[in-house]
């Protein structure tokens, strides 16, 4: 997307930051002139990620011309980033190009960029001549080392003298930026904030690279639908969007969130008496604040899919909504409700330029952790998919068996040659025949390698984790892409559907190659040549697959339907629940699937069956890394299923074969149930927590002393309302010389359900007593578990000697609750 006029600030900044000498040095015979090339998008500086540069091209001639703008880093002139544009006669065009991460330099706050302008003449791009063609034309652009970063998208006018500009203290724009900086101050980050004032953002995901948090503080996005689409893709791929609902109309969010936008705005008000607290905190424990000037509060009605983080006078003040791999955090309360002015008795601000940054309150400190969580490694790194990628291509070097056979034949040949020469009474000929035999053996090795390489045609292959977002119908792809060629030579990789891939460039130094951007979703590499073999690298993209999974709890467990869309051949499916359990899934040819309590897999096992193929073992290894490494259970029950993806995300000229494999991650969309229907909820779907002082906590189910814990089992929201008929408590209990018992709270008097002494193994407790089958209003069931102190042979307490503590420890594992009941009317 190009713009035939550019904003005043951008134009002035472009003229200021572009060196005047190169423009003057261009040949007067050419009507084309280039200026600009400054960072644009969500970042106003370069960092150790991809980025975008704004430029302008003037055509002073009467006829339209095609131009190519080339940018590169002087330390890496062999890797060039270009943009092809068409400039009408007697006009100016403003556009952008993507640029890769800059190489390391000694300068901390700037990076040098070289650039050239080309014009298409007689079908070829020729450089616009310079008066000094030997001179390298460069310019400096802002640079900041990578850190957790924030971009604020405002409605502020571009005129810095306007009373509503971001530079005017007290303006709405300035207050929004101050609010964002206060959160950064609370998390110990720098005061650097990227303020986005461009009328239109580059519609490419690289424009958001290097940004961790994008703050939406205005309605300008309605005039830039392409940027809204790109912002949605950025969130799907893991970005965090913070929406100030007191400054943003919810209608602006529709293109970004789609059907994930489920809450409703009830009204807007100003509060002078404020109680701001997390939902778990009692109202009488919350400090009360009074204001002379009312603080804006947007009152919203949530749908239930959101997570409330803080409440203001009983209304949501901050809540979050997962979208793909990313999330959206909403605040409904104006910044003054989250902080107070910094006074003379307060510690000085850590910021060097902004000394009067407000003092954050406890609620802001807590919310800052949600907005800027501590960095966590990806459960599955893309390079860990490389073994599957190699297997998809099918190319292998000569194996150990082949090599061993050739070497064995060589040794036998040497022995046979020695015996023959000894019998021929001419041992001196070993000097002739020995090297000849070695040469033949080497030739066999070469022939085996060539045959192995040529057995596979030129191939483009991909293996990806695909996160499906039903609300938008789009999927976030991240994985490994590879190009295999049996011969050395040039190759062209590109796409017209967006996305990026970084193939391994080892050994390509000195090979001048260009990444050519021809449209906002279209690019390709030119002058790229690889030696024979496999070249792989990580990729990311966003597209529509048409995949989805629906389900409902039935008489035997979960029954569902899988739609693959553009993919095919589903296999090796696993269902990972909100309770953190993995269940094997039985798939049928028509796409239906089922899972029951018998399908719950033991720890560290993700595929059923005693004998797994090599492909299944590789897939199970991916499951083990992806699911076992997660720091918490998913927010939704998710179906993971492998499928073939013949349509790889990038095109490779000359590739005669395309192969792909995708691991789909599908949130289960639960269908409504009919009233009175028999429902069985497998125990892997029911979460549980210990109730301590009325609050849920992680249960401690291992100790050396006696213990009693009340557990609350939460039914899935999709199964409610439900009238319980029977529940089955399942666990593995190791309590040597102790009494293990289970009871229900009842009506003020415990209802005993089970007790056993010296338990050591699986325990299955069927509960049918109506007094123990009462759900609380939120769909929770309470059970009391108790483990006594150690008992002697006579049943009396037997104190633990210090040396016996480890031997006397008890623990409970594999705890779950299977539920059977009748569906009520919603």
3-state secondary structure of 628: helix
CATH of domain 150-371: 3.40.50
Per-residue confidence at 181, pLDDT binned at 50, 70, 90? Answer: very high
pLDDT given at position 433: 56
Mean pLDDT of all residues in 207-211:
94
- pLDDT for residue 803: 57
Is pLDDT at 440 greater than 70 in this prediction?
no
Grouping H, G, I as helix, E, B as strand and the rest as coil, residue 403 is helix
Beta strand 326-331 with 240-244: parallel, antiparallel or unpaired? parallel
Domain ranges of the chain: 8-142, 150-371, 400-454, 548-670, 678-823
Output Rg (C-alpha) for the chain, integer angstroms.
33
72-93 CB burial, b ≥16 within 10 A, e <16: bbeeeeebbbbbbbebeeeebb
In the chain, % of residues over pLDDT 90: 61
Q: At what angle do helices 614-628 and 386-393 cross, to 10 degrees?
A: 160
Q: What is the pLDDT of residue 444?
A: 54
3 state SS of 266? strand
Distances (CA, A) of 304 to 314, 577, 778: 16, 18, 12
Read off the pLDDT of each residue in 688-703 and give the average, rounded to a whole number: 89
Q: How many alpha carbons fall within 13 Å on the CB side of residue 750? A: 12
Which residues, 6+ apart, have CB-to-CB distance to 144 below 8 Å? 45, 46, 47, 109, 192
Query: What pairing do the DSSP bridges indicate for beta strands 513-519 and 722-744?
Result: unpaired
- For 678-823, CATH number out of 1.20.1050, 1.10.3470, 1.10.357, 2.60.120 equals 2.60.120
Of 251-255, 311-315, 647-651, 801-805, least confident by mean pLDDT is 801-805
Domains 8-142 and 678-823 share a fold: no
Mean pLDDT of 309-328: 93
Whether residue 1 has pLDDT greater than 60: no
- Sorted by sequence, the CB contacts under 8 Å of residue 585 that are 6+ apart come out as 573, 574, 575, 593, 594, 595, 599, 639, 641
Show the beta-strand stretches assigned E in 634-721: 638-644, 651-652, 657-670, 678-681, 687-692, 695-697, 702-703, 707-714
**Nearest alpha carbon to residue 23 among 56, 45, 53:** 56
What letter does residue 10 receive in the DSSP assignment?
A: H
Percent of the chain surpassing pLDDT 70: 86
Q: Which two tokens stand for residue 423?
A: 């019998």
Q: Is 681 a residue whose pLDDT tops 80?
A: yes
Least trusted range by pLDDT, from 264-268, 300-304, 391-395: 391-395
At 168, give phi and psi (nearest 5°): -90, 115
Long-range contacts, 397-402 (Cβ 8 Å, 24+): 397/449, 397/452, 398/445, 398/448, 398/449, 398/452, 402/448
Inter-residue contact 40 to 210 (CB < 8 Å): no
Tell me the C-alpha distance between 386 and 537, whole Å. Answer: 9
**Strand ranges (E), 180-239:** 194-196, 213-216
Structure tokens of 27? 């040949």
pLDDT digits (tens, 9 = 90+) for 444-467: 555 555 555 555 789 999 999 999
Mean pLDDT, rounded, for 44-58: 95
pLDDT at residue 135 tops 80: no
pLDDT at 402: 60
pLDDT confidence tier of residue 4, bands split at 50, 70 and 90? very low
Using CA atoms, how far apart are residues 163 and 788, in angstroms rounded to an integer?
72
**CATH class (in words) of the domain with range 8-142:** mainly beta
Per the omega criterion (within 30 degrees of 0), is the bond before 721 cis? Answer: yes
- pLDDT of 219 > 70? The answer is yes
Cα distances (angstroms) measured from residue 125 to each of 118, 120, 130: 6, 4, 15
Exposed, middle or buried: residue 598 (CB in 10 Å: 0-12, 13-18, 19+)?
A: exposed
Mean pLDDT across 110-131: 88
Pairing of strands 651-652, 493-495: antiparallel
| Residue pair 667/637 in contact by the 8 Å Cβ criterion | yes
Question: In this predicted model, what pLDDT tens digit does every residue of 516-533 receive, in sequence order?
Answer: 999 989 999 999 999 988
Q: Which of 195-199, 229-233, 462-466, 750-754 has the lowest mean pLDDT?
A: 195-199
Distances (CA, A) of 80 to 54, 94, 210, 516: 16, 20, 20, 9
| Bridge partners (DSSP) listed for residue 583 | 575, 600
Q: What is the pLDDT of residue 169?
A: 84
Q: What is the pLDDT confidence band of residue 155, given thresholds at 50, 70 and 90? A: confident
Which of 743, 754, 738 lies closest to 788, judged by CA?
A: 738
pLDDT digits (tens, 9 = 90+) for 370-385: 999 888 888 889 999 9
Q: Which residue has the tokens 């009325």?
A: 694
| pLDDT, averaged across the chain | 87
Beta bridge partners of 316: 311
Residues 23, 26, 31, 36: is their CA dihedral positive or negative?
negative
pTM for this model (two decimals): 0.85
Tens of pLDDT, residue by residue over 724-736, are 999 999 999 999 8
Phi first, then psi: give them for residue 500, nearest 5 degrees: -145, 150
Question: Which pLDDT score is estimated for 398?
Answer: 46
Q: In terms of C-beta density within 10 A (0-12 exposed, 13-18 middle, 19 or more buried), how is residue 818 classed? A: buried
Going by pLDDT thresholds of 50, 70 and 90, the confidence category of residue 554 is very high
Say what the pLDDT of residue 13 is. 36
Helices (H), 96-171: none
What is the average pLDDT across 484-512? 91
| Confidence at residue 411, expressed as pLDDT on a 0 to 100 scale | 62
Tokens of 420: 């023959």
More confident position, 356 or 783: 783
In the structure, what pLDDT confidence band is assigned to residue 133 with cuts at 50, 70 and 90?
low
Contact 626, 430 (CB under 8 A): no
Residue 9's pLDDT is: 36
For the chain, first and last CA: distance in Å?
49
- Asked whether residue 269 carries a pLDDT value surpassing 70, the answer given is yes
Token digits of residue 171 = 């303006």
Half-sphere exposure of 44 (CA within 13 A, CB side): 15
If pLDDT is split at 50, 70 and 90, which confidence band does 96 have?
very high
Nearest to 47, CA basis, from 146, 137, 170: 146
Tell me the backbone φ, ψ of residue 361, rounded to 5 degrees. Answer: -90, 170
Is pLDDT of 98 > 80?
A: yes
H helix or E strand, kind and range, residue 485: strand 474-485
Q: Comparing 388-392, 468-472, 631-635, 721-725, which segment has the lowest mean pLDDT?
A: 631-635
Taken as a whole, the chain contains a residue count of 826
DSSP state of 201: -
Strands (E), 333-458: 339-340, 359-360
**pLDDT-derived band at 762, boundaries 50, 70, 90:** very high
What are the distances in angstroms from CA 561 to CA 575, 663, 677? 13, 17, 19
């Amino acid at each position: 997307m190009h713009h035939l006029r550019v904003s005043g600030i951008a134009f002035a900044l472009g003229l200021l930051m572009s060196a005047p000498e190169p423009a003057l040095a261009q040949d007067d015979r050419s009507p084309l002139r280039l200026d600009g090339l400054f960072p644009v998008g969500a970042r106003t500086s370069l960092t150790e990620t991809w980025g975008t540069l704004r430029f302008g091209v003037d055509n002073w001639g009467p006829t339209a011309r095609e131009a190519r703008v080339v940018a590169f880093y002087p330390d890496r002139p062999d890797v060039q980033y270009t943009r092809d544009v068409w400039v009408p006669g007697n006009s100016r065009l403003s556009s952008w190009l993507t640029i890769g991460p800059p190489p390391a330099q000694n300068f901390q706050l700037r990076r040098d960029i070289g650039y050239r302008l080309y014009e298409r003449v007689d079908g070829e791009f020729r450089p616009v001549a310079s008066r000094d063609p030997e001179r390298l034309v460069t310019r400096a652009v802002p640079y900041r080392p990578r850190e957790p970063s924030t971009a604020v998208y405002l409605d502020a006018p571009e005129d810095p003298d306007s009373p509503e500009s971001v530079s005017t203290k007290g303006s709405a724009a300035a207050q929004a930026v101050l609010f964002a900086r206060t959160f950064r101050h609370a998390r110990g980050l720098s005061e650097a904030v990227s303020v986005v004032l461009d009328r239109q953002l580059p519609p490419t995901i690289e424009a958001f690279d290097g940004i961790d948090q994008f703050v939406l503080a205005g309605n300008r996005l309605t005039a830039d639908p392409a940027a809204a689409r790109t912002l949605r893709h950025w969130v799907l791929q893991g970005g965090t969007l913070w929406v100030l609902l007191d400054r943003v109309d919810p209608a602006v969010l529709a293109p970004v969130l789609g059907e994930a936008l489920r809450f409703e705005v009830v009204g807007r008000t100003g509060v002078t008496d404020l109680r701001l607290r997390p939902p778990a905190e009692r109202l009488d424990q919350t400090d009360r604040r009074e204001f002379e000037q009312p603080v804006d509060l947007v009152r919203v009605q949530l749908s239930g899919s959101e997570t409330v983080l803080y409440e203001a006078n009983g209304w949501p003040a901050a809540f979050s909504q997962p979208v793909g791999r990313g999330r959206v955090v909403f605040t409904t309360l104006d910044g003054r409700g989250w902080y107070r002015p910094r006074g003379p008795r307060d510690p000085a601000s850590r910021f060097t330029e902004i000394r009067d940054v407000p003092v954050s309150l406890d609620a802001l400190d807590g919310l800052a952790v949600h907005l800027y969580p501590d960095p966590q490694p990806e459960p599955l790194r893309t390079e860990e998919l490389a073994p599957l990628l190699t297997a998809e291509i099918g190319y292998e070097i000569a194996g150990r068996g082949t090599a061993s056979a050739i070497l064995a034949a060589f040794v036998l040949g040497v022995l046979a040659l020695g015996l023959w020469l000894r019998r021929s009474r001419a041992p001196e000929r070993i000097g002739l025949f020995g090297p000849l035999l070695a040469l033949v053996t080497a030739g066999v090795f070469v022939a085996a390698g060539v045959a192995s390489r040529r057995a596979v045609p030129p191939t483009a292959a991909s293996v990806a984790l695909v996160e499906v977002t039903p609300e938008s119908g789009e999927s976030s792809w991240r994985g490994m892409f590879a190009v295999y060629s049996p011969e050395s030579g040039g190759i062209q990789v590109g796409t017209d559907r967006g996305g990026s891939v970084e193939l391994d460039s080892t050994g390509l130094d000195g090979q001048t190659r260009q990444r050519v951007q021809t449209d906002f979703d279209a690019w390709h590499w030119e002058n790229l040549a690889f030696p024979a073999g496999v070249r792989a690298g990580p990729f990311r993209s966003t597209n529509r697959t048409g995949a989805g999974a629906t389900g409902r709890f039935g008489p035997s467990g979960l029954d569902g339907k899988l739609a693959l869309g553009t993919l095919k051949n589903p296999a090796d499916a696993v269902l990972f629940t909100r309770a953190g359990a993995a269940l094997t899934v039985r798939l049928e040819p028509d796409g239906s699937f089922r899972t029951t309590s018998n399908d719950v897999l033991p720890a560290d096992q993700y595929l059923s069956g005693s004998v797994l193929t090599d492909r299944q073992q590789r897939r199970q290894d991916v499951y083990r890394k992806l699911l076992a490494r997660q720091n918490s259970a998913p927010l939704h029950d998710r179906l993971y299923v492998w499928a073939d993806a013949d349509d790889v995300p990038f095109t490779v000229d000359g590739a005669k074969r395309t192969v792909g494999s995708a691991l789909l991650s599908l949130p289960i969309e639960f269908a409504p149930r009919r009233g009175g229907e028999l429902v069985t909820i497998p125990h892997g779907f029911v979460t549980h927590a210990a109730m301590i002082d009325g609050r849920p906590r992680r249960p401690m189910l291992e100790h050396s002393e006696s213990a009693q814990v009340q557990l609350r089992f939460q039914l899935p929201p999709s199964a409610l309302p439900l009238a319980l008929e029977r529940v089955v408590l399942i666990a593995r209990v190791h309590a040597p010389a102790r009494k293990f018992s289970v009871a229900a709270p009842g009506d003020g008097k415990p209802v005993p359900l089970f007790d056993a002494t010296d338990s050591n193994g699986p325990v299955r407790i069927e509960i049918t007593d109506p007094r123990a089958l009462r759900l609380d209003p939120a769909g929770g069931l309470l059970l009391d578990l108790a483990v006594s102190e150690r008992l002697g042979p006579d049943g009396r307490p037997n104190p633990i000697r210090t040396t016996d503590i480890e031997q006397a420890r008890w623990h409970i594992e594999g705890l779950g609750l299977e539920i059977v009941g009748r569906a009520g009317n919603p």
